[in-house]
Structure formats: structure tokens, C-alpha cells
Structure 1
Amino acid sequence: MFEGFERQRVAIDETDLHVVTGGQGPALLLLHGFPQTHAAWHQMAPLLARDFSLIIPDLPGYGASRGPVPDAEHRQYAKRNTARIMARLMSMLGHDRFYVAGHDRGARVGFRLALDHPERVRAYAAVDILPTLAVWENMDWQHALSAYHWPFLAQPAPMPERMIGHDPVFYLDHLIERWAGDSKKLTPEAREAYRTAYRNPDVIAASCADYRAGASTDIVDDRRSRDAGQRIVAPVLALWGRDYLDDGVSPLTAWRAWADDVQDIPFDCGHFVPEEQPQACAGALADFFKLH
């Protein structure tokens, strides 16, 4: 995977990031989701590298990146802190302004990047998520069943860590099969990369810390931003899979609560849009970013 790309390590505060770079043109930061690694972008990267300089990290604590030690206040893995780290990464690599595309948890980091660092983000694409507050504030028993991992992973340590750690590959495969429209479209190489990463207890702990932040500090930060009237000034593109996110309402409505310039594109696939529809997803991102 990522033939012709470069790999490097970048130390920022308590993190030691594994970063893949390559391509030419304006900078595009690609942020993966849970329970994945940077490998989520491996089918799209060669397509996007024709027009963009790609920066593809493992998020702090995920994949081969070392993350901070989880803290009791859940600040270390708050999306605001991870966004700050990503902004510093881009500065260290020489990119003052850049595009951001994030899938799943990475899209939540991109959300805070666009809110907290508006001078840095030229345009933002969120792949198959609704804003965090929209998820929690609209969660009824039916949504709780379908998205049970949100409250489960957010339980206090070490309960989810021990349960997942008993058979991490089983749990990872369970999530992929549950969320994918067609799991066979996730390549064997990517699946093995995710399994290798998720066998690491530190990665399991970081992912749980990520979800604990999502159920606590992220909510506080987002509500404060909403109450203050803070909005995303960059153009926003919402890409989503009909097999996962469609409950009869387009994500467009949820994103317009946070930004004025929003468009959305649905795909006939499940949650893993960059892997289930790599060519269409890459084309949509390229067309969108080239306009901005």
C-alpha cells in the first residue's frame, strides 16, 4: 500500500505521529476513522495525489502513532486537542492553509479544525458522519441499539478495554461487518493493517479514550461553540453512505446547523465510503476542493 509515498515520524507534545505523504499540488489532510488507520485511504491516495499534496497520519493513539496518556478529564483525546495537534503537524510540514477530509472520528477532528482554526482550513469534507451533538441529542432507543458502540466505548476504564482485549480481532471484524455495505470491498491488506493495530492494547485504550471524550468534553466544547454562535466559515461537503446513515433525512440538514455553505452527496454503500466507493469518493473530493 502507498507505493511511491514517503513515511515519517513527527513528534508533537506527547504524541509521536506516523505520517504518510505524497503527491503534488495544494495540501490535503486526510484523517481516518475508528477502528481504522491511515490505510483507510490507500485506494484513494493514488487518485488524489495527481492534484494534491497528501498528508495522511495515523491519528494520535491509532495505528502506528503513539498518543498521549488518557486523562481523567478526557482532554487529551478531545477533538479540540487532536485538531490542535493536526494544525501543528501541518505547520511543521510547511502548510499554512490546507484542505481537510475526514472519515468517521477523523471527520470529528476535522470539524474542530474548521471551527477552531478557520484561517487554516480552505474547505472541509466530512465523510459519513453527523455532527457529534446531532448524534447525542437525537439518540433514542433505536439509535442507541444501532450505535451501541458510542455508549459502550465511553464507559469508564478498564471495562471496555478488558472486554475488547479478550478478542480484539473478533470485535474489530464485528464492527466492520456491521457497518459495511459490502465488507469485501475493504482490501485484505487494509483489513490486516487494522487487525495488527487493534491487537495493541494501547490502541484499544486510545480508541476508548477518544469515545469517552466524545461523550464528555467534546459535548461541552461543541455546546459552547453553538451557544456562542460559532460556525464553520469554510465550504463544507458531506459525503455519506445510504446503507449506513440514511434514516430518511439527508445529513445536509444537520450540517447546515453549523455552516452556511454546505452540499452533500450520497453513495450507494455502507459506512466505509473511502473503501467501498474509492473512485467516486476521490472524484467528489477532488471536484469539491478544486472549486475552493
Structure 2
Amino acid sequence: MTGTTIDGFEYRRLAGEDGVQLNVAIGGSGEPIVLLHGFPQTHLMWRHVAGELAGQYTVIVPDLRGYGESDKPEETTPDTYSKRTMARDIVAVVRAVGYEQFSLIGHDRGALVGVRAALDHPETITHLGILDVLPTMDTWDVLHGVDAAVAWHMYLMAQPKGLPERMIGAVADDFFSSFLDAWDPSGTTFPPHVRRHYIESSTRAVPSIVADYRATAGIDLEMDRVDRKAGAQLAMPVGVISQDWGARLGFDSSALWRKWAPNATYQSIDAGHFMAEEKPVDIAAFIRELVQRTPVQVGS
């Protein structure tokens, strides 16, 4: 399918954790910024933002393990798709490109990988940007009653291995299309070839996408609870940008993030969930402002 790469970017396959190969787009020059995609998307969601940033920064845009053109290892243990493992993928890939430290910006699932990378590798992640997601343990804590229906897919994919994969696989096109429709109020964010790319890529990745979500209801949640009990916090500059859905659902999402990052900045944006594609100039400006903040010297 044409039009499913980022214009002007080089593509490489690079080894992450345990030799898993990630599809990685690299462009620009300067300090490194890594952009991680969400569900049900691939690295292509960053095509506009990456182009905006490449004139000033080295921009590294991988498909997460289990998504897009990256490897999709079988879920043999709960850790196969833990955010800790996926974070190690990203650190390994960026080191292969030639950088020991980098800014990390994630949307949705990618933001959860970014948070785990920042918790586990504070000496490596200099700046953390979070687009339109809640912390893992807080997501489960704030879902109550019928309002939890907004996250119905999370409960489905939290079930034991087997049934969710078969159910989703039977109607995969409809399943993934439903999120592209529901989370894009304007209905104009995705050109037809990009929409088709997301659906086809996700349909090929049903077991690994389910494994990613299953980990968030299991091992990822356990890791967050351990860190919360230990008082772990994110000391690097952190910026969060989100829809104003927290108010609609009855909680303060900025307060939830500040439990993890007391000095985080928080802003809302008049956009749908797929804000990097709907308003790329605004998201690029958010990223530039974040990465220009003075980084914290770990151990100082």
C-alpha cells in the first residue's frame, strides 16, 4: 500500500529486547526525540508531527512490538508484552541508532510504554510527553458503573488467552474500525489509505494487540502498584496534553498524573483522541516546548 511511510525518513529494522526486530523510521538531525504510537495505529500516526520536528531534531519513530511491521512474538509469559519489556525495546533501538539519552513522547499505548521507560530508565529519558491517556493503575481505579462502558475493549482484552483473540479475529475489521470512528468526531482525520492501513495492520496483529492490553490489566498494573507503594516518581520534565474527558467522566486527570510527576505541566486541547493527526501543528508545538525545558540531572 502506498503512502504508509513517513516522507523523507529512512527505515531500518533494529533489535529490541530478546532480539525482537522493530520497524523504525528515522529522520532529521539534532537532539533525539522518540515518538510512540497508540491503538489501533502504527508509527504512521506521527507522519505530520515527525515532519514538523525533523528540521530541528533527530526523530525516531518505531512500530511498537506487536504492531505494524514490527515483530509480533507469541505471548509465552505475562512479560512478553509488559510495558517494561516494550520500554526495553525502545531503549535498545535508540542505542542502536547511536543515542544514550533521548526525549520520549507517547500517545495512548505508547505513552504507557513511555511512562514505564521513564520509571525504569530515569538516566536515559530526559523528557516525557504524554498524549491522551491515564496512568495504568489510575485508569482501572476511575472506571465505575456504566461509565466504564467507554473502556469495554479493555475488559474484553483483559480476559485469559484464547477467547478474546477468537472473538476479535472473527470481526476484526469492524472491531478496529469502531475505534477509528468513535474517537474521531470530525470523521475527517484519516485519509482513506491511512485508515485502511491501520485496519489491515491491526487485523494482522490481533493476538499481540490483545496481549498488550492483557498485560495492562495484569503485570503492568502490578508493576505500577509496586512503584506507587515505593513512592516512585518521574523527576524529568513531564508534559501531559489531553482531551477534556476527565471532567466529563468525573475525575481530575491532571491530579492523577501529578501523583507520578508532581511537577508535570498539563493542558487540554480541543481535539479528538487522534490529536497528533487532527492538530499536528499544536502537538509539535507542545513537544518543542517540553523538550526545551532544562532536564533534571539524575543523581545530582
TM-score range relative to shorter protein: over 0.9
Match in the other structure for 1:37: 42
Q: Which runs of 5+ in 2 are unaligned?
A: 295-300
**1:158 to 2:130 alignment:** no
Contact 1:242 1:269 in 2 (8 A): no
Please give the alpha-carbon distance, in whole angstroms, between the structure 1 residues aligned to 2:28 and 2:250: 38
The Cα RMSD (Å) is 1.5
Q: Aligned residues: percent identity?
A: 36
Contact 1:238 1:251 in 2 (8 A): no
- Runs of 4+ displaced beyond 4 Å: 243-246
**1:207 to 2:206 alignment:** no
Q: TM-score, normalised by structure 1?
A: 0.94
Please give the alpha-carbon distance, in whole angstroms, between the structure 1 residues aligned to 2:203 and 2:6: 22
Please give the alpha-carbon distance, in whole angstroms, between the structure 1 residues aligned to 2:228 and 2:246: 27
Please give the alpha-carbon distance, in whole angstroms, between the structure 1 residues aligned to 2:89 and 2:238: 21
Please give the alpha-carbon distance, in whole angstroms, between the structure 1 residues aligned to 2:147 and 2:56: 39
Please give the alpha-carbon distance, in whole angstroms, between the structure 2 residues aligned to 1:254 and 1:275: 25
Match in the other structure for 2:297: none
1:226-261, Cα deviation, whole Å (9 max, x unpaired): 111111111110011236885354421111100122
Match in the other structure for 2:118: 114
Match in the other structure for 2:140: 136
User: Cα offset for 1:180?
Assistant: 2.0
Amino acid at match of 1:41: W
Report matched runs for 1:4-153 at 5 Å.
4-12=8-16, 13-71=18-76, 73-153=77-157
**1:184 to 2:180 alignment:** no
How many residue pairs are counted as aligned between the two chains?
Answer: 289
User: Cα offset for 1:67?
Assistant: 2.7
Q: 1:246 to 1:51 in 2, by over 3 A?
A: farther
Instruction: Find 1:226's aligned residue among 225, 228, 244.
Output: 228
Contact 1:29 1:100 in 2 (8 A): yes
Match in the other structure for 2:241: 239
Contact 1:233 1:259 in 2 (8 A): yes
Q: Which runs of 5+ in 1 are unaligned?
A: none
Please give the alpha-carbon distance, in whole angstroms, between the structure 1 residues aligned to 2:247 and 2:55: 30
1:34-82, Cα deviation, whole Å (9 max, x unpaired): 11100110121110112211110000010000132202x4111000111
1:21-42, Cα deviation, whole Å (9 max, x unpaired): 0011110010001111001101
Report matched runs for 1:167-178 at 5 Å.
167-178=171-182
Please give the alpha-carbon distance, in whole angstroms, between the structure 1 residues aligned to 2:82 and 2:13: 22
1:194-219, Cα deviation, whole Å (9 max, x unpaired): 1221231xx11011000110001001
Please give the alpha-carbon distance, in whole angstroms, between the structure 2 residues aligned to 1:245 and 1:209: 30
Q: 1:136 to 1:245 in 2, by over 3 A?
A: same
Match in the other structure for 1:287: 289
Please give the alpha-carbon distance, in whole angstroms, between the structure 1 residues aligned to 2:208 and 2:166: 13
